[in-house]
Amino acid sequence: MKKIVIVFVFLLLIMAAIDRWVMKNKEPEKVTNIDQQVELVQTITEPNVGLAIGEQAPEFSLETLDGGNLSLQDLKGKVVLLNFWASWCPPCREEMPDMQKVYEQYKDENIEIVAVNMTYGRETVEQAKNFQEQLNLTFPIPLDKKAEVTKLYQIIPIPTSYFIDRDGIIRDKQIGLMTEEMMIEKLEKIK
């Protein structure tokens, strides 16, 4: 039985190495517009993308979907789940109902959920607003209309989420879809 497991693991490693070699030697695609750039960027699945755990979360200030303004400085002293998303992204759409449940559960415990909408390229304010209304999302939704905060946080695949402690330090991150249980587990660790 041990030999079978070892052979299986060895074969998986060989397949991963071949895949990595093929991807590195693949002819680069010509990217002509923002939609193609976003799709190309979503294919990157390296685990070391984005800001590192232990770094200070960069300050930002953005207009919110409800017409207000939100800055990270406003949230000092709170634990923050900072999520980056777009309404056209299937995993983003899938995790939002769970994010709303977690927000409702923790909003009175000095924990904040902030979902930065990547409002550029093919995403519009109207699409974000329709999505927010459709799911009755009540947490703050800042609009990154110029991709400044997206670049600042080095967001490549979406959804991407950072878990920031009360002192503004990144304590965890999640690249890709999160479930309600994952969100709660990560928040509880730094609460």
**Cα 165 to the center of its chain, rounded Å:** 17
**End-to-end alpha-carbon separation of the chain, Å?**
43
Flag whether pLDDT at 8 surpasses 60.
Answer: no
Residue 18 lies in a domain: no
Within 10 angstroms of residue 49's Cβ, the number of other Cβ atoms is 15
Q: What is the span of the domain harbouring residue 111?
A: 41-190
31 occurs within a structural domain: no
pTM for the predicted model, two decimal places:
0.76
pLDDT digits (tens, 9 = 90+) for 46-59: 456 789 999 999 99
pLDDT tens string 52-89:
999 999 999 999 999 999 999 999 999 999 999 999 99
CB atoms within 10 A of CB 90: 9
CATH number of the CATH domain containing 64: 3.40.30.10
| Closest CA relative to residue 178, chosen from 58, 74, 89 | 89
| Residue 6 lies inside a defined structural domain of this protein | no
Cis, peptide link before residue 91, omega less than 30° from 0:
no
Question: How many domains does one find in the chain?
Answer: 1
What percent of the chain clears pLDDT 90, i.e. is strictly above it?
A: 73
In a domain, 81, yes or no: yes
Q: Domain for residue 35, yes or no?
A: no
Question: Which are the contacts of 108, defined by CB distance < 8 A and separation ≥ 6?
Answer: none
State whether residue 7 is helix, strand or coil: helix
User: How far apart, in whole angstroms, are the C-alpha atoms of residue 62 and residue 84?
Assistant: 13
In a domain, 91, yes or no: yes
